[in-house]
Structure 1
């Protein structure tokens, strides 16, 4: 018999100027909290953390708040990125800054 594994996923679409992008939010129940992973549209992990909630839908809302904060850092100029850095990479850097205060989590560790 094959093992079946279902992972809930949530996608956030965003627009910065003329750039359209998306990030994927993956949540996992890891005991006393929900582990949250934010992935690029290519499936590369941008950041992972424990948002301090037991509810996956609230963890998704928190991820949306972090994305909004990251985009505001870029558009508002409070986070200056290197010239020539693709917008998707700049968003990833800003997301890492936006989630810096969260408790870190390494997927696979419980």
Structure 2
């Protein structure tokens, strides 16, 4: 018999100039907080962290704020990236900078309290 697993996902679409992209936000209840993972369009992990909330909807709102901050860094030029880097990858780099202040979380690892 197959095991069934359902993972809720929240998608954020963005536009930078003529480039359209999206990131997926996956939240998981990991005890006293919600673990948040932001994935690229290809499903690769960009970053994962604990936003310090017990509510998935609040974690999704925080992820949206991080994406907005990342896009402002990218468009505003405050983040220097390699020339020729695809926009999606440059946004991923900016997202890692935007979430740098969050408590890190590695999905799949046991969290001890």
Q: TM tier, shorter chain?
A: over 0.9
Shift of 1:23: 0.2
Q: Where does residue 5 of structure 1 map in the other structure?
A: 5
Q: Are 2:24 and 1:43 equivalent residues in the alignment?
A: no
Q: Secondary structure at the match of 1:22?
A: strand
TM-score using structure 1 length: 0.98
CA offset digits 1:28-85 (Å, max 9, x no partner): 0000000000000000000000000000000000000000000000111110111000
CA distance in 1, matches of 2:27, 2:102: 15
User: Unpaired segments of 5 or more residues in structure 2?
Assistant: none
Q: Where does residue 33 of structure 1 map in the other structure?
A: 33
User: Unpaired segments of 5 or more residues in structure 1?
Assistant: none
Q: Where does residue 96 of structure 1 map in the other structure?
A: 96
Moved over 6 A (4+): none
Deviates more, 1:75-84 or 1:63-72: 75-84
Q: Where does residue 64 of structure 1 map in the other structure?
A: 64
Shift of 1:2: 2.8
Q: How many residues align?
A: 110
CA distance in 2, matches of 1:17, 1:31: 40
Cα RMSD, aligned residues only: 0.7
TM-score using structure 2 length: 0.95
Q: Where does residue 73 of structure 1 map in the other structure?
A: 73
